[in-house]
Structure 1
Amino acid sequence: MTYVFIDRTNGWVYAPEAELGRPKVGVSEILLSRAEEYFSRFEQFSHIYSILKNAIDKFDTPLSGLAVDLGSGFGNTVIPLLSAHPDLRVLATDISPDLLAICRREALKRGLADRCAVVAFNAERDYLKQGIADAVFGCAILHHMVDPMAHVRTAVNLLKPGGRAVFLVPFEAGNAILRIAYTSIHEEAQRRGEDGAALQFLRGIARDVEVRTHRFDPAPDFKWHQMDDKWMFTRSFFERAIGEAGASEVKIEPIQAPEDLFTRQTRVVLESYGNIPSTDLPDWAWKIVLRFDEEFFSDDQKRDLPVEAMGHNHQMRGAVDHGNRSKRRSAGFHYQPPIDHEWEVCHPNCPDAHITRPHKATGCLIVDFHISVLRSKARPIVVGRRTHAYRRLRRR
């Protein structure tokens, strides 16, 4: 185990040593050096939980034990889960240590940090032991992945028998309708000789949906895998991915009501994504969008054309062979106060916290690494505030 110190304000974030120096492909600066800006724009703790609650309420038993959250960012999922479920512990993961520092800060503010550990790594790599989690969440993360199929398999393998995985993702069907509508608006704008920020932004969204649907390079000098948002999803993708992973009960549930679906989503696109007042879009353009809501589809059909949806599944009991765990060593993630870095010290609540020698505490939050990671010497590293590159701390 290797841990990462983010800064004196937000506390400690951990990372496996194998992540050190790896490039963060397809991760823009707004998720790194501009993480605070991203947090201020997209913090939606209450809204996200109102969506998740629909899936959680369908669990066979109350949510408790250990949840692994993949792609936690600044904690849009983590904070409401911890707040609403006092018997739950959460392992929050993300490729951006900067976002995880904010997640930890928000947990500390609310007195939730003793049930939360934050770990920085690329979720497409398999660092965590299998069969450890009562639930796995992946909210708005799969579309960032180069290989989301592998990510789903990893999530399912993390589950204990009977555990559940929940994903919140953009769906191809509803976004394809928006692309058609926005393309029609662009063609009408050309015919009228009109232009403007709102019209240009919708034209860009139509192009973005096209690239993410077919996953081709948008320009000779800009590759598809370098984009922040890379995928749109389908029901068949989830059925295939979850079936291959040995899970069952695949359910797809739209998160938006069908009434005025495309009109409401267009307002979100302009105001939330583009920071453009929806009133800047001409009336004739709104009429084009409205036709897709009122003329072309019934509300029943729009339920089958989600723009965003939850995909969740149930791990079949005993379906996955997690291997011989006796061959693996165990070590927990532990909160590390800023002390002499020669020592490994547990969370203060750990029964072994009084031990004043290097040790592997096993009674703490949260999770075990694979043996290949545990064989690496534990060393503290720091995330540079400007370079955002991992570098080792020298012992003073």
Structure 2
Amino acid sequence: MTHHAHQHEHHAHRHDGGHTHRGEAGLADLLDLDAEVFAPHLDDLITWVDEHTTATPGTIADVGSGTGTGTLALARRFEAARIVAVDQSPAMLDRLRDAARARGLTDRVRTVEADLDDAWPPIGSVDLAWAAASLHHVEDPDRLLRDLHGALAPGGLLVVVEMDTLPRFLPHDIGFGRPGLEERYHEEVARDGWNAYPNWGSHLERAGFEVVQERDFAFEAHPAPPSANRYARDYLGRVRSALADRLGADDLAALDRLLRDEAPESVLNRAELTVRRARTAWAARRP
């Protein structure tokens, strides 16, 4: 489950080397749906980032950019900035470049293919670095934090964001005779140490940063946007595949019913769907 679930947002390292092209394309589609569903949540985060910038950033690095959710949001907020999107996956970067081109951002967005387990790439000085759901994937995050400290201009800001839980879609009574389906598959994922990360505050301080603020962000989309149904279907499909040998027969059958597109109880056909998520973010400055 670890590789299926905790790579939900970003793809900045070689832990996913075994993914097929088709699997990576499916993950990219899921990331783009995630960007649509949680756009207001991300805008709240970027607004918070803006509040902690002491000057308009000229260059921003998206550390583990995936398909560019953060890259594009940062480009919208900081209209004068140039964004450097760093990721290990050529397919993800291709998707990001297409999205930037469609939004007329080609002259402001640059992509760099790099494995962050090797070294921070030589992209020059940056004023703001954004690492969303990517730092905990790196084999030596303290080394990367030191590299980012060196890459930031004096007074520059690093923002680290982590996803606290899997996205939640289902009411407690869903289970078709056995309520609590979502809680059970969350517990199963937790046993694998899914998305495990430390409190990054002490790590940031050891790397030479001054932690400005740590903040929790909770988001609930109700009613959810139309894309949320497809997002729930694709996400639960990945959960179903990953936990096929871990969940009980009743829970697997319940997931199958939720994933059967033509069925009235399918998540694709639920008019009232709520999507919930929580994140923790750290803003840290290079003195």
Give the TM interval when normalised to the shorter protein.
0.5 to 0.7
Shift of residue 84 of structure 1? 2.5
Q: Which residue of 2 is the match for residue 252 of structure 1?
A: 214
1:43 matched to 2:7: no
Shift of residue 39 of structure 1? 4.2
Structure of larger gyration radius: 1
Q: Evaluate the alpha carbon distance shift between residue 36 and residue 26 of structure 1 in structure 2; reply closer, same or farther with a 3 A threshold.
A: closer
Q: Which residue of 2 is the match for residue 227 of structure 1?
A: none
Structure 2 CA distance, aligned partners of 1:90 and 1:130?
11
Contact 1:251/1:312 (8 A) holds in 2: yes
Q: Report the identity percentage.
A: 19
Letter of the 2:151 counterpart: L
Deviations 1:170-222 (A, max 9, x none): 34xxx59x9xxxxxx8xxx9xxx9558x72x542321222322xxxxxxxxxx
The DSSP-based 3-state class of the residue aligned with 1:114 is coil
1:232 matched to 2:224: no
> 1:239-278 maps to which residues of 2 (within 5 A)?
239-256=201-218, 273-274=235-236
> 1:41-190 maps to which residues of 2 (within 5 A)?
41-44=33-36, 46-47=39-40, 48-62=42-56, 64-129=57-122, 132-171=125-164, 175=165
Q: Evaluate the alpha carbon distance shift between residue 247 and residue 156 of structure 1 in structure 2; reply closer, same or farther with a 3 A threshold.
A: same
Contact 1:130/1:157 (8 A) holds in 2: no
> 1:353-364 maps to which residues of 2 (within 5 A)?
none
Letter of the 1:210 counterpart: R
Letter of the 1:242 counterpart: L
Shift of residue 94 of structure 1? 0.9
Structure 2 CA distance, aligned partners of 1:41 and 1:75?
12
Contact 1:135/1:164 (8 A) holds in 2: yes
Structure 2 CA distance, aligned partners of 1:59 and 1:109?
28
Shift of residue 257 of structure 1? 6.2
Q: Please, what TM-score do these two structures have when normalized by structure 1?
A: 0.49
Shift of residue 53 of structure 1? 1.4
Shift of residue 272 of structure 1? 7.3
Letter of the 1:309 counterpart: T
Q: Please, what TM-score do these two structures have when normalized by structure 2?
A: 0.65
Structure 1 CA distance, aligned partners of 2:183 and 2:138?
24
1:34 matched to 2:26: yes
Letter of the 2:14 counterpart: K
The DSSP-based 3-state class of the residue aligned with 2:162 is strand
Give unmatched runs, 5+ long, in structure 2.
1-12, 221-228, 238-254, 259-263, 266-276
> 1:283-302 maps to which residues of 2 (within 5 A)?
none
> 1:5-16 maps to which residues of 2 (within 5 A)?
none
Give unmatched runs, 5+ long, in structure 1.
1-22, 179-184, 213-229, 259-266, 281-305, 317-396
Shift of residue 51 of structure 1? 1.8
Letter of the 2:286 counterpart: Q
Letter of the 1:34 counterpart: G
Shift of residue 81 of structure 1? 1.5
1:24 matched to 2:14: yes
Structure 1 CA distance, aligned partners of 2:201 and 2:62?
21
Shift of residue 163 of structure 1? 0.3
Match of 1:310 among 277, 281, 286: 281
Deviations 1:327-367 (A, max 9, x none): xxxxxxxxxxxxxxxxxxxxxxxxxxxxxxxxxxxxxxxxx
Q: Which residue of 1 is the match for residue 244 of structure 2?
A: none
